[in-house]
Amino acid sequence: MLRALLLLFTFVLPLTLSAAPATIDWLDLLPAEDYQAMLDMPEIGHGSGLDSEGDFTQSLRQRDDSLPEVMYSTRVVSDYDGRSVRIGGYPVPLETDAEGRYLSFFLVPYAGACIHVPPPPPNQIILVDYPDGIAIDDIYQPFWVQGTLHISQTSNQLADASYALSAERVWLYDGE
Protein backbone atom coordinates (compact mmCIF):
# COMPACT_ATOMS: atom_id res chain seq x y z
CA MET A 1 0.00 0.00 0.00
CA LEU A 2 2.81 2.40 0.87
CA ARG A 3 4.49 1.60 -2.41
CA ALA A 4 1.28 2.47 -4.33
CA LEU A 5 1.03 5.83 -2.53
CA LEU A 6 4.67 6.56 -3.25
CA LEU A 7 4.12 5.84 -6.95
CA LEU A 8 1.04 8.06 -6.92
CA PHE A 9 2.95 11.02 -5.45
CA THR A 10 5.98 10.43 -7.64
CA PHE A 11 4.32 10.10 -11.04
CA VAL A 12 0.64 11.03 -11.04
CA LEU A 13 0.62 14.14 -8.84
CA PRO A 14 3.27 16.04 -10.85
CA LEU A 15 1.30 15.37 -14.06
CA THR A 16 -1.85 16.75 -12.45
CA LEU A 17 -0.07 19.86 -11.22
CA SER A 18 1.58 20.56 -14.56
CA ALA A 19 -1.81 20.46 -16.29
CA ALA A 20 -3.08 23.43 -14.26
CA PRO A 21 -3.20 26.60 -16.36
CA ALA A 22 -0.73 29.37 -15.58
CA THR A 23 -2.39 32.59 -14.45
CA ILE A 24 -0.85 35.33 -16.55
CA ASP A 25 -1.06 39.10 -16.63
CA TRP A 26 -1.36 41.31 -19.70
CA LEU A 27 2.18 42.59 -19.15
CA ASP A 28 3.42 39.00 -19.54
CA LEU A 29 2.32 39.18 -23.18
CA LEU A 30 4.57 42.16 -23.94
CA PRO A 31 8.10 41.49 -25.18
CA ALA A 32 10.74 43.28 -23.10
CA GLU A 33 11.30 46.03 -25.70
CA ASP A 34 7.57 46.82 -25.86
CA TYR A 35 7.26 46.81 -22.09
CA GLN A 36 10.09 49.35 -21.82
CA ALA A 37 8.63 51.46 -24.63
CA MET A 38 5.31 51.55 -22.77
CA LEU A 39 7.08 52.67 -19.58
CA ASP A 40 8.88 55.44 -21.48
CA MET A 41 5.76 56.64 -23.28
CA PRO A 42 4.17 59.97 -22.34
CA GLU A 43 0.66 60.07 -20.86
CA ILE A 44 -2.02 59.38 -23.46
CA GLY A 45 -5.53 60.81 -23.22
CA HIS A 46 -8.59 58.61 -23.64
CA GLY A 47 -11.45 60.23 -25.52
CA SER A 48 -15.01 59.13 -25.06
CA GLY A 49 -15.29 57.71 -28.59
CA LEU A 50 -18.72 59.34 -28.93
CA ASP A 51 -19.75 61.94 -31.47
CA SER A 52 -21.96 64.92 -30.65
CA GLU A 53 -25.08 62.76 -31.06
CA GLY A 54 -23.85 60.07 -28.66
CA ASP A 55 -22.95 57.49 -31.33
CA PHE A 56 -19.73 55.49 -31.25
CA THR A 57 -17.13 56.82 -33.69
CA GLN A 58 -14.07 54.76 -32.80
CA SER A 59 -13.03 51.15 -33.31
CA LEU A 60 -10.11 49.13 -32.07
CA ARG A 61 -8.53 49.54 -35.53
CA GLN A 62 -8.45 53.34 -35.59
CA ARG A 63 -4.88 54.55 -35.99
CA ASP A 64 -3.48 57.80 -34.63
CA ASP A 65 -0.12 58.59 -36.24
CA SER A 66 0.81 60.85 -33.33
CA LEU A 67 1.10 57.80 -31.05
CA PRO A 68 4.36 55.87 -30.63
CA GLU A 69 4.79 52.77 -32.81
CA VAL A 70 4.58 50.51 -29.73
CA MET A 71 0.84 51.27 -29.66
CA TYR A 72 0.54 49.21 -32.88
CA SER A 73 3.02 46.47 -32.01
CA THR A 74 2.34 42.91 -33.09
CA ARG A 75 5.48 41.56 -31.39
CA VAL A 76 4.69 38.63 -29.10
CA VAL A 77 6.19 36.46 -26.37
CA SER A 78 6.64 33.11 -28.12
CA ASP A 79 7.03 31.23 -24.81
CA TYR A 80 3.24 31.38 -24.40
CA ASP A 81 2.43 29.71 -27.72
CA GLY A 82 0.50 26.51 -27.00
CA ARG A 83 0.42 27.02 -23.21
CA SER A 84 -2.60 26.50 -21.01
CA VAL A 85 -3.31 29.86 -19.38
CA ARG A 86 -5.87 31.81 -17.40
CA ILE A 87 -6.13 35.57 -17.92
CA GLY A 88 -8.60 38.20 -16.77
CA GLY A 89 -9.91 40.88 -19.07
CA TYR A 90 -12.85 42.60 -20.66
CA PRO A 91 -14.86 41.23 -23.59
CA VAL A 92 -15.51 42.93 -26.90
CA PRO A 93 -18.30 40.73 -28.35
CA LEU A 94 -18.01 39.48 -31.93
CA GLU A 95 -20.06 36.40 -32.89
CA THR A 96 -23.13 34.84 -31.28
CA ASP A 97 -25.02 31.57 -31.62
CA ALA A 98 -28.81 31.21 -32.13
CA GLU A 99 -29.37 31.66 -28.36
CA GLY A 100 -27.39 34.89 -28.22
CA ARG A 101 -24.38 33.39 -26.42
CA TYR A 102 -21.04 34.73 -27.58
CA LEU A 103 -18.86 32.16 -29.33
CA SER A 104 -16.17 34.63 -30.28
CA PHE A 105 -14.94 37.84 -28.67
CA PHE A 106 -11.84 39.91 -28.20
CA LEU A 107 -10.41 40.00 -24.70
CA VAL A 108 -8.73 43.29 -23.81
CA PRO A 109 -6.91 44.55 -20.70
CA TYR A 110 -9.22 47.43 -19.81
CA ALA A 111 -12.94 48.15 -19.90
CA GLY A 112 -14.31 50.11 -22.82
CA ALA A 113 -11.42 49.42 -25.19
CA CYS A 114 -13.91 49.27 -28.04
CA ILE A 115 -14.81 52.95 -27.57
CA HIS A 116 -11.74 54.54 -26.00
CA VAL A 117 -8.92 56.14 -27.91
CA PRO A 118 -6.32 54.80 -28.29
CA PRO A 119 -7.10 51.09 -28.36
CA PRO A 120 -4.68 48.55 -26.90
CA PRO A 121 -1.89 47.40 -29.21
CA PRO A 122 -2.53 44.13 -31.12
CA ASN A 123 -0.21 42.31 -28.70
CA GLN A 124 -2.63 43.30 -25.94
CA ILE A 125 -5.72 41.92 -27.71
CA ILE A 126 -6.66 38.23 -27.63
CA LEU A 127 -9.19 36.69 -30.02
CA VAL A 128 -11.16 34.17 -27.93
CA ASP A 129 -12.96 31.22 -29.48
CA TYR A 130 -15.43 29.65 -27.01
CA PRO A 131 -17.63 26.98 -28.66
CA ASP A 132 -19.79 26.59 -25.52
CA GLY A 133 -20.73 30.26 -25.72
CA ILE A 134 -21.36 32.70 -22.89
CA ALA A 135 -23.85 35.48 -22.28
CA ILE A 136 -22.14 38.86 -22.15
CA ASP A 137 -24.55 41.35 -20.68
CA ASP A 138 -22.05 44.03 -19.70
CA ILE A 139 -18.75 44.74 -21.47
CA TYR A 140 -17.63 46.58 -18.34
CA GLN A 141 -17.77 43.33 -16.32
CA PRO A 142 -14.41 41.47 -16.38
CA PHE A 143 -14.13 37.76 -17.12
CA TRP A 144 -11.59 35.03 -16.51
CA VAL A 145 -10.77 33.10 -19.67
CA GLN A 146 -8.95 29.77 -19.49
CA GLY A 147 -7.63 27.71 -22.36
CA THR A 148 -4.78 27.26 -24.80
CA LEU A 149 -3.08 30.46 -25.94
CA HIS A 150 -1.65 30.68 -29.45
CA ILE A 151 0.33 33.25 -31.35
CA SER A 152 -1.98 34.14 -34.18
CA GLN A 153 -2.05 37.42 -36.06
CA THR A 154 -5.74 38.07 -36.71
CA SER A 155 -7.32 41.02 -38.44
CA ASN A 156 -10.96 41.88 -38.96
CA GLN A 157 -13.02 45.05 -39.39
CA LEU A 158 -12.92 45.79 -35.67
CA ALA A 159 -9.34 45.05 -34.58
CA ASP A 160 -5.99 43.39 -35.07
CA ALA A 161 -4.95 40.80 -32.49
CA SER A 162 -1.62 39.05 -32.01
CA TYR A 163 -2.89 36.23 -29.79
CA ALA A 164 -5.76 33.76 -29.98
CA LEU A 165 -7.13 31.63 -27.19
CA SER A 166 -9.13 28.41 -27.55
CA ALA A 167 -11.23 28.75 -24.41
CA GLU A 168 -12.19 25.76 -22.30
CA ARG A 169 -13.82 27.86 -19.62
CA VAL A 170 -15.06 31.47 -19.33
CA TRP A 171 -16.55 32.91 -16.14
CA LEU A 172 -17.12 36.21 -14.37
CA TYR A 173 -14.01 37.58 -12.74
CA ASP A 174 -14.08 36.85 -9.04
CA GLY A 175 -10.73 38.37 -8.08
CA GLU A 176 -9.03 35.01 -7.66
Whole-number pLDDT of residue 56: 40
Instruction: Give per-residue pLDDT as tens, 4-37.
Output: 544 444 454 454 455 699 999 999 999 999 999 9
Do 122 and 106 form a contact (C-beta atoms < 8 A)? Answer: no
CA distances from 167 to 1, 5, 87, 144 (A): 39, 34, 11, 10
Q: How far is CA 51 from CA 42, 101, 110, 138, in A?
A: 26, 29, 21, 22
In order of their start, the domains of the chain are 21-172 (2.40.50.870)
Check if the beta carbon of residue 107 is closer than 8 Å to that of residue 117: no
The pLDDT, as a whole number, for residue 61 is 58
Is the separation of the CB atoms in 122 and 62 below 8 Å? no
The predicted structure's pLDDT at residue 73: 96
Q: What is the pLDDT along the chain (176 residues), one digit of tens a residue?
A: 555 544 444 454 454 455 699 999 999 999 999 999 999 987 766 554 444 554 444 455 566 777 889 999 999 999 999 999 999 999 999 999 999 999 999 999 999 876 656 789 999 999 999 999 999 999 999 999 999 999 999 998 889 999 999 999 999 998 66
Reply yes or no: is the peptide bond before residue 118 cis, omega within 30 of 0.
Answer: yes
